[in-house]
Amino acid sequence: MRILVTDGLEPDAVAALRAQHHVDLVEADPKQLLEIILNYEALIVRSRTKVTADVLAKGAKLKVVARSGVGVDNIDVRAATARRVPVVNAPTGSTISVAELAIGHMLSLARQLPEADRSMKEGKWEKKRFEGRELHGKILGLVGSGRIGAEVARRAHAFGMDVIAFDPYLSPQAAKDRDIRLVDGLPALLMQADFVSVHAALTPETKGMLGAKELALMKRTAYVVNCARGEILQEGALAEALRAGTIAGAALDVFEKEPPTGSPILAAPNVVLTPHLGASTHEAQARAGGIIADQVLKVLRGEKPDFAVNPEVYA
């Protein structure tokens, strides 16, 4: 069978697929994808490629769509389900890498590392200017506490932080096992936390859930970190809060539109920005690639995959 990979995949994963099937690596634009998809039984993407209803309609042979990563908001899962096409992902591939990046952003904000680096390279020695804050003893508020949130909490505890979370899907027992205190609602979390770290999935309920009203609830000394999905946090409202000094700072790895050309956040003060690097480690890509290769091969053999995000296609 024929497999199309549009956003790159780890060499070992490609080799595993090629051992059993024909694989094409094509960085297809939307128009090209519509033209060639009819030739393939499997499509593997990362976050760049948008798998729309039109793509799925053109891909009459498709048996599986795979996302080498976690989030599937770039795939029309409903349309895939209507066509009985399983959508698979690699939910555990990037967990550690994203969690480490979130902690790294917290340290960058608390100790003003990017600004201190820039100052040094300008020939300055501004030791007194860059008096930071410790993570120890601070309250970390997790907006969402699934796999990644749990790993962030584990690392935060090692720094001596107290961890609270707003997550309607996290059971009290699971929270207790992770030494996380659940709070009753997002406002309660925002008012208590010294660091707010977003780890929710992008859904109709979470889209834009952090706006001007919510940011106004935060402490003036608090920071917000988003390594989840850009559309959860309203960038215009965040930029205004940073300019007004309503919050102390922010770090974003994800944006409402990527790249964020023209976004007001680019000119905002006290913000650290990275270009969606959460899963961009060798280890994460190797894990995700291996998981995805295994899932795709299972489907093409007629077996049920382990990580179908629309398992109802097998009902």
Domains and CATH numbers, the chain: 2-93+282-314 (3.40.50.720), 95-273 (3.40.50.720)
- The residues, ordered by sequence, that sit 6+ positions from 52 with a Cβ below 8 Å of its Cβ are 30, 76, 79
CA distances from 126 to 112, 119, 145, 286 (A): 12, 7, 38, 41
Residues in the chain: 315
- Please check whether residue 194 is in contact with residue 222, taking contact to mean a CB–CB distance below 8 angstroms: yes
Q: E strand or H helix at 223, and its extent?
A: strand 223-226
CA dihedral 81, 205, 51, 147 (to 10 degrees): -90
Nearest to 233 by CA among 259, 251, 221: 251
**Tens place of pLDDT for every residue, the chain, 315 residues?**
999 999 999 999 999 999 999 999 999 999 999 999 999 999 999 989 999 999 999 999 999 999 999 989 999 999 999 999 999 999 999 999 999 999 999 999 999 999 999 999 999 999 999 999 999 999 999 999 999 999 999 999 999 999 999 999 999 999 999 999 999 999 999 999 999 999 999 999 999 999 999 999 999 999 999 999 999 999 999 999 999 999 999 999 999 999 999 999 999 999 999 999 999 999 999 999 999 999 999 999 999 999 999 999 999
Active site residues: 229, 258, 276
Give pTM, 2 decimals: 0.90
